Structure 1
Amino acid sequence: MKLQFSKHIHTKILLVLLLLASTVSVAQEDKKKELEAKRLRLQKEIRLINKLIRKNTSKTKFIVDDVQSINHKIRVKRDLIKVMNRETNLLTSQINSNIKKIGQLRNDLTKLKADYAEMIRKTYKSRSEQSRLMFLLSSESFLQAYKRVQYMKQYANYRKEQGEAIVARTQELQALNKTFSKQKKQKEALIVENRNVQKELENEKKIQNEMLASLRKDTSKYAAQVKKKQRQADEIDRQIDKIIRDAIASSNVKAGKTTTSKTYALTPEAKAIGNSFAANKGKHIWPVSEGTKVRGYGNYRDVVNPNVTRVSNGVIIATNQDETVRAVYNGEITRIFATKEGVKCVLIRHGSYFTTYFGLKTVSVKTGDTVSKKQEIGTMYTNKSTGKTELKFTVFKNTTRLNPETWLYRM
């Protein structure tokens, strides 16, 4: 009784351990897939950056733009190296785990084969039908004869089970050896790729340092370029702020409310769109189908003077020449305006939220139009001086600026 109870407890513990091992294995495989997907996205982004840099280098007159491009490329490559290191570490862990499993399986298989060989040997000794018949006829009672019949059946079944166990363990070992071999090749490929990216990164750092040295020789020219860009950005931001304030005031006049209110007066339909827009935070599509984020939202360090902090009120996305710009969600075109250089900006309202798209050459919508998610609103403008094609994307809730990076998918 005690022996049976002990076996029962042992079986339960074994099942729990197997379940835990299986759970850990599944979690590791999920993490591996996640890291692989991230690595592929970063590799795709680097290919796009390389393509954009190749197109722009011959056209650019502003070295500061080249420095920003190389800085962005270095950041993405550093992220790629981190991801590949994590992938390599995870593969190492899986390989070590599989080495232990393979050793255990080989031991199990050796023991099973030895047991099976001994069983065959004993069966061979008592193989004749006469021996089996005599074994039954020598029974002292019918009950004993019945038990001997049952014993012979159980022995035959056990022999069959042992044979099946050997086949199963052999197949498991073969599958594990294949997985092990595949993991080793994956790890070796990652290590080679990591080394290549490290070499490329070192070369790009040298180029970056040469560019920075050139800029620091003529700080007044650099300062003038930065100042000019900042004035243009500030002017765009002021126009967008005013358009949103005016739109809010107009909505409140129509609703019979005070014009000093800083929140948009919403109809039930507009409120539903706003709620839906908010519910999709982090899931919204990018405003271009192919692009790379060259500058994020918030404070960032100056490329030449790291001690100087600058501010970005939106995200800057580099993309292809003549790339289509699309609405990230359903909404209404609030306003369209252009700079004196002909660069256009579109504002779309989604309930009490606004998204803005600055950097368009052509616009295919008009003020008051209702647009749907993914609908084309225009095409990208390419700066003739720098050769760059960049979209500035911002998000507001009423008059409050929000971080667009938290609203777009995987930004």
Structure 2
Amino acid sequence: MKLNKSLLLLLFIFSVSLVRAQSSSELKRKKEAIQREIELLQRNLNKTANNKKLTLGQINALNTKIKLMQDKITVINSEIKNLDNQIHENTNTVITLKGQLNQLKKEYAAMIRFAQRNKNAYDKMMFIFAAKDFNQAYKRIKYLQQFGQYRKKQAGYIQGTQKDLNYKIVVLDKNLKEKSSLLHEQENEKDKLGKNKSQQSAVLSKYSKQEKQYRQDIATRKKQQAQLDRSIRAAIAREIALERKRAEEAARAAAAKAAAAAAAKARAENRPVPAAPVAKPKESSGGYMAATPEAARLSAAFESNRGSLPWPVAAGSITESFGKHKEGQASYDNAGVTIQTAEGAGVRAVFNGKVTKVGNALGRYYILIKHGQFFTVYQNLRSVSVSAGDDVTTKQNIGTVASSGDVPELQFQIYRGTAAQNPAAWIAK
């Protein structure tokens, strides 16, 4: 019974430790991912450090970096909490194993004392021959044999428990060292965060001095962005109109074919020829005419990948989110997300589709890709490697990112028909 309980306890501890280890490894991966984003933003900030003129990209990069540093401290706190739980569990296990070891040693010592008192072979023989009958004598022989085997097993249990105890003491010591290292890392990150907040205060002070010019620059840039977004929506609307026209023509052709077949059958059967049906293509859920079966499958596949689409750049950080924003008294709408990335980074298609437009605005390229009833937009490209009409595949390189105010950033948008979607809800976390 005691052995079974001990085994069940160790099995439970092992399963809990495995879950903790998985959780710790996830936290470690998350922390490393955050650190990569911080380093990327810092490289961009280092390149623009000597710029006298403040840009929106710089401010967004600094604000995002501070938020990421706070996120990293939160992850470290979670790691410390996990370790505290592990230390508590391992300490309890060490205490339990020590108690079991002491009990096993006491039982073993009692057996040894009993064996010492009865070590004389004459005494054993007397014990056997003193039996009332042959059956009892046989049982006494078996008892002596089992007693010897049990003593050997008990010695094995002691050795095994001692081994488990030594292992748990080593793990506990490792936990304590790891916690000490994390506490040191936490202090370093807090110190860095404090310095970055001081830098943020200096930037805001610089902003207040250049506020008028800064607001004018933002207003100009956002006006240009709004014009570009309108032209992209117009391009999408034209593509929808073409799709509707193609659907109407296909419906008319199908109706004419059906009417001709019905008329031929009526004449053959000497019946009046029925009136031709009015051709009406079906409306799709996207608000325009139903696409071809291939396009419908592409739409369904795109939608089924919501939350797991690859990023349009291999590495980057979202510095401006989707939706409404306010700068001073002015407010503006971001139809997508702004992603800061490395200088000269390649831009990738996030899903299979067809390039419907490659345009140029303000000395920068943009690409519109159709995925059934969905569209993805890639703005602020320095160069492009695809043309209108090209079929593209997931993660295919379609161009390179340009810099906005010396900061390399991509404006990425997703539309369902002409309705803008939040890309953060579609791309992988």
Is the alpha carbon distance of 1:107 and 1:13 closer, same or farther for their aligned partners in structure 2, counting shifts above 3 Å? Answer: closer
Show structure 1 runs of 4+ deviating over 6 A: 10-19, 257-261
Aligned: 1:373 with 2:365: no
Asked if the contact 2:41–2:62 (Cα under 8 Å) also holds between the matched residues in 1, the reply is no
Which piece of structure 1 moves more, 366-375 or 156-165?
Answer: 156-165
Deviations 1:169-220 (A, max 9, x none): 1111122112112211221111111111111111111111121122223432
What code does the residue aligned with 2:413 have?
Answer: T
Maintained 8 Å contact 2:282/2:290: no
Provide closer, same or farther for how the CA distance between residues 60 and 157 of structure 1 changes in structure 2, counting only shifts above 3 A.
farther
Q: Equivalent residue for 1:58? A: 50
Separation in 2 of the partners of 1:226 and 1:39? 33
> What SS does the aligned partner of 1:389 have?
strand
Match of 2:351 in 1: 329
Match of 1:3 in 2: none
Q: How does 1:193-342 map to 2 (within 5 A)?
A: 193-256=185-248, 262-263=287-288, 265-302=290-327, 305=328, 310-339=332-361, 341-342=362-363
Aligned to 1:4: none
Partner of 1:345: 366
Pairing 1:401–2:420 present: yes
The one-letter amino acid of 2:118's match is: S
| Alpha-carbon distance in 1 for matches of 2:36, 2:414 | 26
Partner residue, 2:264: none
**Residue 270 of structure 2 aligns with which residue?**
none
Distance 1:200 1:364 in 2: 41
Mapped contact 1:277–1:350 kept (Cα < 8 A): yes
Change in CA separation of 1:93 and 1:205 when aligned onto 2, cut-off 3 Å: same
Give the alignment partner of residue 382 of structure 2, picking from 361, 370, 374.
361
- Distance 1:164-1:17 versus aligned 2 partners, 3 A rule: closer
| Residue aligning to 1:82 | 74
Matches within 5 A, 1:85-124: 85-124=77-116
Gaps of 5+ in 1: 1-6
Taking structure 1 as the reference length, the TM-score comes to: 0.90
Question: After alignment, is 123-132 or 286-295 more displaced?
Answer: 123-132
TM-score (norm 2): 0.86
127 and 220 in structure 1: CA distance in 2 versus 1, 3 angstrom threshold:
same
1:227 is matched by which residue type in structure 2? A
Deviation at 1:70, TM superposition (A): 1.1
Label 1:247 to 1:60 Cα distance change in 2 as closer, same or farther (>3 A): farther
Q: Distance in 2 between matches of 1:223 and 1:59?
A: 17
Higher mean displacement: 109-118 or 196-205: 109-118
* CA shift in 2, pair 1:218/1:44, >3 Å: closer
CA contact 2:296–2:372 (8 Å) conserved in 1: yes
CA distance in 2, matches of 1:141, 1:301: 101
Q: Tell me, which stretches of 5 or more residues in structure 2 are unaligned?
A: 249-279
Alpha-carbon distance between aligned partners in 2 of 1:14 and 1:112, rounded to the nearest angstrom: 12
Q: Partner letter of residue 427 of structure 2? A: L
Task: State the Cα deviation string for residues 200-253 of structure 1 (Å, max 9, x = none).
Answer: 111111111121122223432121011011112101211111111110110110
Structure 2 distance, partners of 1:43, 1:247, is: 42
Residues 58, 407 of structure 2: 8 Å contact kept = no
Are the structure 2 counterparts of residues 297 and 60 from structure 1 closer, same or farther at C-alpha, using a change threshold of 3 Å?
A: farther
Q: Which residue of 1 aligns with 2:259?
A: none
